[in-house]
Structure 1
Amino acid sequence: MAKIALITGATAGIGEACARLFAREGYNLILTGRRMQRLERLAQSLNDKYNVQVAVSCFDVRSRQQVTENLQSLPEQWKRVDVLVNNAGLSQGLDPIDQGNLDDWDTMIDTNVKGLLYITKVVSGWMVENGFGHIINIGSIAGKEVYPNGNVYCASKHAVDALNQGMRIDLLKHGIKVTAVHPGAVETEFSEVRFKGDTNRAKKVYEGFDPLVADDIAETIWFVASRPKHVNINDIVVMPTAQASATNIFRG
């Protein structure tokens, strides 16, 4: 029987790269995101190329009701999830705390923290019932250190780091693996979303060095997901060679 991976935020970037890699490895997939057309296009592509089954579910992880209703309405055979990749997340703005936009703060906290919790609550329940599973939480270097004007985004990713550790302890007795993958600078839609479509400003983030790309993180996620049953990677930080910390990047 093929294994199943559930990947949130699968319409672009790291989530889409994970979907392609797990499909290549023979996993059936549950893909979630907010852009149905992209989900359907990706599902068709993966089915055609790898002959895997793909279920798509379009909803916003910020809505507890949408998360619960969409996931619980999946047919029973799809609830035997082997790997959950909690990838959905974003940053909004880059402002000092006194000038921060309250709506941006709500969006980051609701997506990065509460959305991750809503998904995990449902899927971890399935895993406990099934007696197996691996939860992989996508954090950030921002969850390990704080940088200027990153305040609330950094706080949300520090929460992911703490939740990852808490999940590892709480689910230990059920034999469920829990891992956090914390990327440094990855060139995806991340900066475009942070700067609300300002592509020129987004491009400047990655000028003068070779950043990570989505496939680099997907390969790391696959590495931790494919370890033997007795091996769990608790926590891993992945950086471009040119980056030593959140703010220390060598631009040649």
Structure 2
Amino acid sequence: MSKIALITGATAGIGEACAHVFARERYDLILTGRRADRLETVSKQLIAEYNVHVKTLVFDVRDREDVISKLEELPNDWKQVNVLVNNAGLSQGLDPIQNGSYDDWETMMDTNVKGLLYVTKVVSNWMITNKLGHIVNLGSIAGKEVYPNGNVYCASKHAVDALNKGMRIDLLPHGIRVTAVHPGAVETEFSLVRFKGDEARAKKVYDGFEPLVAMDVAETIWFAVSRPAHVNINELTIMPTAQATATNIFRK
């Protein structure tokens, strides 16, 4: 088989863009997500456009047993994963801590932190056995700063930042590269999910400036992955030109 990339949250946004970039670069793909119909659509498009092999796994990264069983059920030749992109993540709500929703908090921590851990534990052991691999963790500017009402989402992305550093240390003896990519404002389904389907509120986030798009981040991930084997990009922060910090955006 050719090289293999496993991408979580591949049904839309940055995950879907990563699937296109890695397929373009002749990687076979393992794509995971919660929406079976979207995974099937993306898979068919990639196969038709790039003539690559694609495996789809339908699961929610929050479900530990399902994550483990679905991954371990893969045939051995599909466990020769070269690149893991831990992309699955979300934000729910934008409330001060005293008004926050318990359900929103659990969804964010279970997806952004625990889900990343469940997938990483399985796949990193494959990489150790195979004596190669590169793990890319999708962080956020929210993992570098804290902004008003971002409390728990920022905490979850600070955890990803810490886990990225910890993985780099733990996997160092095995020659496995580990990279974090921390985007600023990216126009995807992110804000629509955060505001629970409120399209007007989601669109307002990007008013007056040109945000990043998913492909900007996917190409940045590919840059890190495509460096020579002796080079590891520990972390990268990528922002729109109009954005200086999490809260400092120049809007025309």
Partner residue in 1 for 2:155: 155
Partner residue in 2 for 1:217: 217
Partner residue in 2 for 1:230: 230
Write the letter of the residue equivalent to 1:78: W
SS of the residue aligned with 1:55? strand
1:176-203 deviations in whole A, cap 9, x for unaligned? 0000000000000000000000000000
Partner residue in 1 for 2:40: 40
Shift of 1:18: 0.3
User: Aligned partners of 1:65 and 1:85: how far apart in 2?
Assistant: 20
Shift of 1:22: 0.4
Number of aligned residue pairs: 252
Partner residue in 2 for 1:191: 191
Partner residue in 1 for 2:120: 120
Shift of 1:49: 1.1
Partner residue in 2 for 1:6: 6
Write the letter of the residue equivalent to 2:133: G
TM-score of the two chains, using structure 1 as the length reference: 1.00
Task: Give % identity.
Answer: 74
Structure 2: which 5+ runs fail to align? none
Shift of 1:205: 0.2
Write the letter of the residue equivalent to 1:39: L
Partner residue in 2 for 1:109: 109
User: Aligned partners of 2:35 and 2:202: how far apart in 1?
Assistant: 22
Shift of 1:41: 1.1
Tell whether 2:46 aligns with 1:56: no
Write the letter of the residue equivalent to 1:95: D
SS of the residue aligned with 2:237? strand
TM-score of the two chains, using structure 2 as the length reference: 1.00
User: Aligned partners of 2:41 and 2:200: how far apart in 1?
Assistant: 28
Partner residue in 1 for 2:205: 205
Shift of 1:116: 0.2
Q: CA RMSD in A?
A: 0.4
Partner residue in 1 for 2:31: 31
1:225-244 deviations in whole A, cap 9, x for unaligned? 10000000001000000000
1:110-166 deviations in whole A, cap 9, x for unaligned? 000000000000000000010000000000000000000000000000000000000
Shift of 1:101: 0.3
